[in-house]
């Protein structure tokens, strides 16, 4: 788990800081980008592997990786004929992992609660 830092003083929150955070959450709102970050948080991958693992086309994955690279969330390095993509912002990767694990736990908890009520 990633530690959650103490929130800044609410009176000291400049609007441009809030806009930057909103932009990051906007990028994370696309399911395929969220999936890409989740996979890259597990380890570096090339675009073909990411396409296979997400069920998307190489063109679609490349498009979304481009957006993530522009935002500074992902980086790429050349390895022979392939570009290998990796996380460039571990804190955002932590947010993605935290959110997905949270929802996994909610589903597991909801399933348990339904089974208990039905028994």
Range of the domain at 70: 17-118
Does 79 map to a domain? yes
User: What is the rounded CA–CA span in Å between residue 29 and residue 77?
Assistant: 26
Say what the pTM is: 0.79
The enclosing domain of 107 has a CATH number of 1.10.10.10
Question: What six digits make up the tokens of 53?
Answer: 């693992």
Q: What is the DSSP letter of 11?
A: G
Q: Which of 38-42, 64-68, 102-106, 110-114 has the lowest mean pLDDT?
A: 110-114
Does 22 map to a domain? yes
Does residue 55 have a pLDDT over 90? yes
Does 96 map to a domain? yes
What is the total count of domains within the chain? 1
- pLDDT tens sequence across 87-100: 999 999 999 999 99
Residues 6+ positions from 65 with CB-CB distance below 8 Å? 36, 47, 50, 74, 76, 85
User: What is the rounded CA–CA span in Å between residue 34 and residue 112?
Assistant: 27
Does 88 map to a domain? yes
């Amino acid at each position: 788990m990633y530690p959650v830092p103490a929130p800044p003083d609410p009176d000291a929150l400049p609007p441009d800081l809030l806009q930057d955070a909103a932009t990051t959450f906007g990028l994370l709102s696309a399911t395929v980008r969220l999936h890409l970050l989740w996979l890259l948080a597990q380890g570096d991958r090339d675009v073909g592997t990411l396409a296979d693992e997400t069920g998307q086309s190489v063109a679609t994955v490349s498009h979304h990786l481009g957006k993530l690279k522009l935002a500074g969330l992902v980086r790429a390095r050349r390895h022979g004929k392939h570009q290998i993509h990796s996380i460039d912002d571990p804190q955002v990767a932590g947010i993605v992992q935290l959110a997905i694990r949270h929802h996994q736990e909610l589903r597991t908890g909801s399933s348990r609660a339904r089974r208990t009520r039905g028994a």
